[in-house]
Chain A
Amino acid sequence: MAAAYGQVPPSTTTQMDTKGEEKMKTRVDYFNLPCPIPYEEIQREAFMSLKPELFEGLRFDFTKGLNQKFALSHSVAMGPTELPSQSSETIKIPTAHYEFGANFIDPRVLMSIVQLMLVGRVLTDGRLNARLKFDLTDKLTLKGNAQLTSEPDMSHGMATFDYKGSDYRAQFQVGNGALFGASYIQSVTPHLSLGGEVFWTGQHRKSGVGVAIRYNTDKMVATAQVASTGIVTLSFVQKVSEKVSLATDFIYNYLSKEVTSSVGYDYILRQCRLRGKIDSNGCTSAFLEERLNMGLNFILSAEVDHRKKDYKFGFGLTVGE
């Protein structure tokens, strides 16, 4: 009877609304895509799992926060340093150095993001490292880093401007030695982003271009990057759970004819984080960070290369945040 008077029964309307809502959910809104990650971090998941900070010898880091914004750090490192050599043999010389550091972080109270960050490090061999990060606006960030040494022509500095759009990011770099670089990355679909970069060095009269593609879901991340410098990089990370990630990468330099593939894992336990990998050249490595107590971490590092007969073992402690 209701249908005879032109009124649709409520059950049918509910079904139609539900189907309509489902259709709307499956449709992609190309004017509302997510903002992609920065171009230089396009392989960060694989980098975090497969390239931990391996070291050889002893390492001790102590960080003391003086207040909410300012902290001092002391670092001691003792161990052999590898020198570049043209032969296949590895040349190492024993070194030891002390590093004094200062960190200043000024958070923006309202939006709870770091507006200004200054980091400085001074080493006993006379080197000074400095880093700056400053949010000029909500979308524009200025980054700078510099390394000053007493050796002639070995000091360098670089400034970077990052602009974050709604579904894209753009970056412009300028450094000493007439170094200019730019990169751009755009979200094409909710899971796919494409990017490219270009750089030019006036001092060495060299230039290069590169393109990259990244596909990510909740469970996996796949990336591919090609550069005119001759490097092709592929990576794949499977996020098995919140605590376990499995990663693999493939790096091929078609100019120097070198190729390497790595397979690794990243396992986060309650008290520790364990990362390990093996590559196609037969080199295996592992890195363990164990939390002994609040603010006290124990670190173990190992890298074994039977082919080159190069064995590196390291241990250390980090105190403070």
Chain B
Amino acid sequence: MADKFLSLEKVKEVWHTQVHDEQNWALNKKLLRAFGLFVGSIIVFRNFGDQMARIFHQATMMPMISSRLSPVI
């Protein structure tokens, strides 16, 4: 059978070098964590950004409201 550009053996070889090798996996783990945080943040910002801003605004307004309601304290 003719050699394919992407064969199962090549995939296994890449998997062994990048996951099972301790040095490479340490770097790949940091890379995945950072890239996942970046992409996840973008998804959260685009879908829930308005709600986050509204909650933050309400949280910052609460001390002002409570201080007006109970001036003695």
Contact = CB atoms under 8 A, between A and B. Distances in A.
Interface in A213-266: 220, 234, 236, 238, 240-241, 244, 246, 248-250, 252, 257, 259-261, 263, 265
Given A261-B34, A280-B34, A246 B45 contact: yes
Contact of A259 (B30, B46, B56): B30
A267 interface: yes
A280 B56 contact: no
A280 B45 contact: no
Interface stretch (B8-16, B47-55, B65-73): B47-55
Contact of B45 (A248, A250, A260): A248
B38 A249 contact: yes
Contacts of A246: 41, 45, 49, 52-53
Nearest to A257: B27
A280 B30 contact: yes
B19 interface: no
Given A244-B53, A244-B56, A269-B60, A236 B34 contact: no
Given A236-B42, A238-B45, A252-B31, A263 B37 contact: yes
Nearest to B33: A280
Interface string B16-39: 000000000001001101110110
B34 A252 contact: yes
A19 to B, nearest CB: 33
Nearest to B27: A257
Interface of B: 27, 30-31, 33-35, 37-38, 41-42, 45-46, 49-50, 52-53, 56-57, 60
24 contacts: A234-B38, A236-B38, A238-B49, A240-B49, A240-B52, A241-B53, A244-B57, A246-B49, A246-B52, A248-B37, A248-B38, A248-B41, A248-B45, A249-B38, A250-B34, A250-B35, A259-B31, A261-B33, A261-B37, A261-B38, A263-B37, A267-B56, A267-B60, A280-B30
